[in-house]
Amino acid sequence: MNQVVDPGDTVIDATVGNGHDTVYLAKLVGPRGLVYGFDIQQMAIENTTAALKAEQLERQVTLTHAGHETIDELIAAKQPIKCAIFNLGYLPGGDKNIITKPATTLTAIQSIQKRLTTNGLIILLVYAGHPGGKQEAQAVTDYARQLDQHQFQVLHYGFMNQIHFPPELIAIQKR
Ligand code: SAM
């Protein structure tokens, strides 16, 4: 991400959770940039607000307590997006039954794809170990695999020597 995102860019944290990625992105875009952050849980919005305040980064972040599937309603169609991150699954330390879902994740990916700048990047951290995770991992993998190679470069990274269900990373970069 730090090779793609420049100060002043507009980016998205599609699942803010406890705010670690939001803080990272807010630092990368700097005070002239903008991070749009989404989460369906009030606790995630509160935790992320606190994490941003602690580092005085609130100014460049707009947090929305809503699902990332509402991106089309909240972000202008003409707004170029340089990067987006999805850290899928459940909120660490929160309710493990509240998880990201295949249909809404795919809706959000498609909304962002339409706004992605040349070389812009969507990063998805995908977890298959929790109930529902395998189905979402499959849906995201299937979707990414069929993208036109002339329009998007898709990379898939995974741990080869970890037990259980290590996360996988899918990177979709616009050509
Ligand atoms: N990136 C976060 C961090 O740094 O702490 C962790 C994110 S956590 C793995 C996944 C988050 O996705 C949860 O906080 C959950 O509430 C949120 N979530 C679930 N469905 C969502 C949706 N439709 N739109 C946005 N966020 C959603």
Predicted-complex ipTM score: 0.98
- Phi, psi dihedrals of residue 55, rounded to the nearest 5°: -115, 10
C-alpha 144/C-alpha 103 separation (Å) is 14
Q: Per-residue pLDDT tens for 64-109? A: 999 999 999 999 999 999 999 999 999 999 999 999 999 999 999 9
84 DSSP assignment: E
Residue 166 carries which side chain, given as an amino acid letter?
A: P
Is residue 100 in contact with ligand 1, taking CB distance under 6 Å? yes
Minimum CA distance residue for ligand 1 atom 19: 100
Dihedral Cα 165, 130, 127, 88, nearest 10 deg: -160
User: Which of 20, 39, 42, 61 maximizes ligand 1 atoms within 8 Å of its Cβ, making it the mutation to test the pocket?
Assistant: 39
pLDDT of residue 1: 84
Q: Give distance in angstroms: CA of 68 to centre of ligand 1.
A: 9
pLDDT of residue 173: 98
C-alpha 172/C-alpha 43 separation (Å) is 29
Ligand 1 atom at minimum distance from 38 CA: 25
3-state secondary structure of 82: strand
- At 51, the pLDDT band (50, 70, 90 cuts) reads very high
Mean per-residue pLDDT for 21-40? 98
Residue 106 carries which side chain, given as an amino acid letter?
A: L
Ligand 1 atom at minimum distance from 18 CA: 5
> ∠ at Cα 134 (125, 106), nearest 5°?
60
pLDDT of residue 19: 98
Query: In order of start, what are the domains of the chain with their CATH numbers?
Result: 10-174 (3.40.50.150)
Are 24 and 49 spatial neighbours (Cβ–Cβ below 8 Å)?
A: no
Q: Per-residue pLDDT tens for 127-171? A: 999 999 999 999 999 999 999 999 999 999 999 999 999 999 999
Six token digits for residue 38: 């989404």
